[in-house]
Structure 1
Amino acid sequence: MQDEFEMSMIGEFKFFLGLQIVQSDEGIKIHQTKYTKELLKKYKMDDAKPMKTSMYPSITLGLDKDSPDVDNTMYRRMVVSLLYLTTSRPDTMFSVYIYARFQVRPKEVHLQAVKRILRYLKGTANLGINFYKSQHFSLLGNCDADYVGDKWERKNTSGGCHFLGRYLVSWTSKRQSTIALSTCKAEYVAVG
């Protein structure tokens, strides 16, 4: 490539578009620890008590007309910051996706839910994606769907992940565009 293009070697990748890259003999780790700590500091959550999960297991957030309104500009900034963090943190993707639905008129309950994600990140700031050296490169895909997980629009959520060998390389979580009348149809749409 150096014959065709002007290039310079500046060493190993350490940062790329906000991602921290750690290369070792075992493999590569991609994480956003620095960004996570800056995010916690920006939203004054750096002294918050860490949480073990990013959302309550049985939470069903709705439009909640009784809860007071919050500044939607700040709420949107928080959600967009968390969406960028899902680049290296698929464990937060589902909860961030759920709370992103409330960006038009966020309420206090939605803000508290987003702050819970930040508290979860406080305790897990060093997590990321690891790619270890391997000779095994079979492609495996998994998908699943819930049935009427969205209580107000009655839509289902599909999720999926792809592994190359034992390493996660792609993931998704998306609300289905149609309303399924059975769990079988919800699963069929997810596979499609």
Structure 2
Amino acid sequence: MEIPPGLLGYTSSQSCKLKKLLYGLKQSNRQWYGKLSNLLLTYGYSHAHADRSLFIKAHNSEFIALIVYVDDIVLTGNSLAEIERIKHIHTNFHIKNLGKLKYFLGIEVAHSDKGISLCQHKYCLDLLKDSGMLGCKPSSTPMDSSLQLHNDSSGFLDDPLSYRRLVGRLVYLTSTRPDIAFATQQLSQFMSKPTKAHHAAAVRVLRYLKGCSGKCLFFPRTCSPHILGFSDADWATCIDSRRSITGYCFFIGNSLVSWKTKKQTTVSRSSSEVEYRALASATCELQ
């Protein structure tokens, strides 16, 4: 090993000992998160039950939320004093204050006097461009209501990886687009052996996105704090397994905060049983 240039006071018979290495190791993410987590816990924060990367602190009428994604941190709350206090973790970590949140993980955040909107317009346009559908004819609906996808024999795709990549990007797009949640759930069932019929259904979703790529979620600043939820289910619509699909959504005031579409794990013998299972899943989400 050669001594690095500029390092004086060492002879050629000596070598440099590496005391600590973080980047490049498999456990680097865990070590970094562990140090940050311990620091936030000493500041009085606690882990959220639903997400270990979300830290919350509630004291009297004050509420602070901090979410971590790799080395990006989003901080919000109703106490400016606490927000300024938590910013002083730069003594332990080299961080930059980028100001008001505008763009985070492909999600565009727009602030106004009326409220906050979340949109994935750029992400949606990039998806259409990469798929070669930027100049396609728009569709009014993401999926044909009479279509029931199943393991058909219309011919397997020559490149199934492209289908999996497309559906994976659609799954992330559902972060702000609940209108394509059901169609994406249907497409994600056939990742192992997609056929031409499945690919045609995915193209239909892209055509729908072409006509409404700028749709967003809006959270008004003034609204009532009551929680409103809706639950629904179909009965044995899956041709392959005869299982049903659960769907629910929840509002805080007029703000949509949670939604999901998922196939049930067991086969129900009646439509009443299907509805009870959907209500049970919705109740768990509500709690």
Letter in 2 for 1:64: D
2: CA distance, partners of 1:33 / 1:2: 32
1:171 alignment partner in structure 2: 259
Classify the secondary structure of the residue corresponding to 2:84.
Answer: coil
Percent identity among equivalent residues?
Answer: 37
Is 1:59 aligned to residue 140 of structure 2?
A: no
Question: Cα deviations across residues 63-117 of structure 1 (Å, max 9, x unaligned)?
Answer: 111x121111000000001001000001001001101101111111110100110
Letter in 2 for 1:170: S
2: CA distance, partners of 1:170 / 1:19: 16
2:192 alignment partner in structure 1: 104
Q: 2:270 aligns with which of 175, 182, 189?
A: 182
Q: CA deviation at 1:10?
A: 3.1
Residues 3 and 181 of structure 1, relative CA distance in 2, 3 Å threshold:
closer
Aligned CA RMSD, in angstroms, stands at 1.2
The higher radius of gyration belongs to 2
1:158 alignment partner in structure 2: 246
Letter in 2 for 1:52: S
Q: CA deviation at 1:3?
A: 3.7
Classify the secondary structure of the residue corresponding to 1:84.
Answer: helix
2:84 alignment partner in structure 1: 2
2: CA distance, partners of 1:162 / 1:129: 13
Q: CA deviation at 1:9?
A: 4.2
Q: 1:147 aligns with which of 224, 228, 235?
A: 235
Classify the secondary structure of the residue corresponding to 2:239.
Answer: coil
Is 1:15 aligned to residue 97 of structure 2?
A: no
Q: CA deviation at 1:8?
A: 5.3
Classify the secondary structure of the residue corresponding to 2:149.
Answer: coil
Aligned length: 191
Is 1:69 aligned to residue 151 of structure 2?
A: no
Is 1:49 aligned to residue 137 of structure 2?
A: yes
| Structure 1: stretches of 5+ with no match in the other structure | none
Q: CA deviation at 1:154?
A: 0.5
Q: CA deviation at 1:189?
A: 0.7
Higher relative contact order, structure no. (Cα contacts within 8 Å, ≥ 6 residues apart): 1
* Kept in 1: contact 2:223–2:254 (CA 8 A): no
2: CA distance, partners of 1:177 / 1:123: 34
Structure 2 counterparts to residues 84-95 of structure 1, below 5 A:
84-95=172-183
Q: 1:27 aligns with which of 104, 108, 115?
A: 115
2:17 alignment partner in structure 1: none
Classify the secondary structure of the residue corresponding to 2:116.
Answer: strand
Classify the secondary structure of the residue corresponding to 2:190.
Answer: coil
2: CA distance, partners of 1:3 / 1:15: 23
| Structure 2: stretches of 5+ with no match in the other structure | 1-82, 281-287
Question: Cα deviations across residues 18-71 of structure 1 (Å, max 9, x unaligned)?
Answer: 100000011001000000000000010001000000000111111111x12111
Question: Cα deviations across residues 169-189 of structure 1 (Å, max 9, x unaligned)?
Answer: 000111111111100000011
Structure 2 counterparts to residues 93-132 of structure 1, below 5 A:
93-132=181-220
Letter in 2 for 1:160: Y
Letter in 2 for 1:43: S
Give the TM-score normalised by structure 2: 0.65
Give the TM-score normalised by structure 1: 0.96
